[in-house]
Amino acid sequence: DETIIEDNVWIGSGCFIGKGVKIGSGTRIYSNVTIECAEIGKNVLIYSGVRIGQSGFGFAPSSEGHIKIPQVGKVIIEDNVEVGANTCIDRGSYGSTIIGEGTFIDNLVHIAHNVRIGKYCAIAGQVGIAGSVIIDDYCMFGGQVGIGGHIHIGKGSQAGGQAGITKDLLVGSKVSGTPAIPLT
């Protein structure tokens, strides 16, 4: 219901496209992909096993245990994005999780609720991005980089493999290590 699939979209076997999803023209979705609560742009490549628009890890601690916070937002993936196999992109708890135009995401990446990734970023395999992170345009992350929640990564920043980013990075930062420290 209420799903829009534009012209020249290719959907592989075993996929699930949920209610209200929008998929732009020229997009290719490989096998066993689940897409819910999302708007997908034009000419997007989504490889096998990807999960888009699932509930994020939102909870509030209480004296009676954890209370689940409803995840009612969506995912917006802009044009010409590539999403690698078995990547998970959670929908926003409120508002949207956004992947900017021309961004390349490798296999096995996790992007949490309310993350905003700018245009033309490159994110290598096994990167984990915690909730409400803002990543500006043209950033690059090596394999297994971890980014803590509510951090702002400045335009053109780069992080070497396995960097642990625990605080904001200024425009053009180059960091490595855990915790991440400047390379220059």
pLDDT in tens, 7-35: 999 999 999 999 999 999 999 999 999 99
pLDDT at 176: 97
pLDDT at 69: 86
Residue 80: both structure tokens together: 């010409």
Q: Which pLDDT score, from 0 to 100, does residue 60 have?
A: 87
Beta strands in 63-160 (DSSP E): 65-68, 74-77, 82-83, 88-90, 96-99, 104-105, 110-111, 116-117, 122-123, 128-129, 134-135, 140-141, 146-147, 152-153, 158-159
Average pLDDT over every residue of 158-164: 97
What's the pLDDT tens digit per position in 101-127?
999 999 999 999 999 999 999 999 999
Reported as a pLDDT band with limits 50, 70 and 90, residue 147 is very high
pLDDT for the residue numbered 182: 96
Looking from the CA of 175 toward its CB, the CA atoms found within 13 Å total 27
pLDDT tens for each residue of 88-103: 999 999 899 999 999 9
Query: What 8-state DSSP symbol labels residue 34?
Result: E
What residues are paired with 112 via a beta bridge? none
Active site residues: 113
Instruction: Tell me whether residue 1 is exposed, middle or buried, using C-beta atoms within 10 angstroms of its C-beta: 0 to 12, 13 to 18, 19 or more.
Output: exposed
Mean pLDDT score across all residues of the chain: 96
Q: Is residue 24 a contact partner of residue 11, using CB atoms and an 8 Å limit?
A: no
* Rounded Cα–Cα distance for residues 98 and 91 (Å): 9
**Cα–Cα distance, 56 to 151 (Å, whole number):** 17
